[in-house]
Amino acid sequence: MQELIHNQLKVIHELFTEFNQVQGFYAEKSFELESRIFAFLNKLTDYFKDKGDQAKESEVLRITNMLHTVKRGFNPASLEKINTSKRELFWGFAYNGIENLHTLLQEMHHKEILKLEEGEEILTSLILNLIQQGFLTDQKLLELDSTSKIEAFWNYLLTQNGSITLIHKKLLMKMISEDIYLLLEKIISKITPH
């Protein structure tokens, strides 16, 4: 089942906020890094498990296991027993884990942003086309001042025009209807005369 992209972006931003705190502990060489990075990894594992994204869950578990291996006194790369400098080795592998997590979070963020940008581009073209045809006037744009009114108008358009129904189906392949209404609200607010 698809989720509201706008909500997914909010969650990703919250994850970035916590991730940036972890990076801050690394940069400050804080003794809190260890507990905070494991807490973040556990949170991220649960997030991907709940979403059913086994590939990303597996990547986070791999990073977690790598750090636990260092904590148990073994070098994860060679599996040799570590007798000295465990803390330095942990910090080195923590850096590696942080880099991998950063890439993972950036990819997630980019994927969702791209969906919204593509949807906004399609809907902007449609709205401008409706304005050009005279079907959508400045007065009508002013009346579309809430998401519920936009939803009602969009549903009306779907019954009137097969091309718009096709565009709607195309958009539904990447997002849910509520995302469409929020994008339409954004577009209308940009072009509405004030």
**pLDDT tens digits for range 142-167:** 999 999 999 999 999 999 888 999 99
Q: What is the model's pLDDT at position 121?
A: 97
User: Do 123 and 183 meet the contact criterion of CB atoms below 8 Å apart?
Assistant: yes
Q: How far apart are CA 107 and CA 125, in angstroms?
A: 27
Tokens of 192: 């509405």
* Residue spans per domain, the chain: 5-113, 115-191
Return the sign of the alpha-carbon dihedral for residues 50, 54, 55, 59: positive
Average pLDDT in the chain: 93
Per-residue pLDDT reduced to its tens digit, 45-91 = 999 999 999 999 999 999 999 999 999 988 888 888 988 788 888 99
- Rounded to two decimals, the pTM is 0.85
Angle at CA 68, nearest 5°, toward 64 and 71? 145
The DSSP letter of residue 159 is H
Q: Tell the residue number behind the tokens 């059913």, with chain if given.
A: 52
Q: What is the model's pLDDT at position 1?
A: 60
In the chain, count H helices and then E strands.
Answer: 8, 0
Q: What is the model's pLDDT at position 186?
A: 95
Q: What is the dihedral of CA 150, 153, 154, 159, to 10 degrees?
A: 170
Closest CA to 190 of 121, 134, 132, 109: 121
User: Do 47 and 15 meet the contact criterion of CB atoms below 8 Å apart?
Assistant: yes
Q: What is the model's pLDDT at position 194?
A: 66
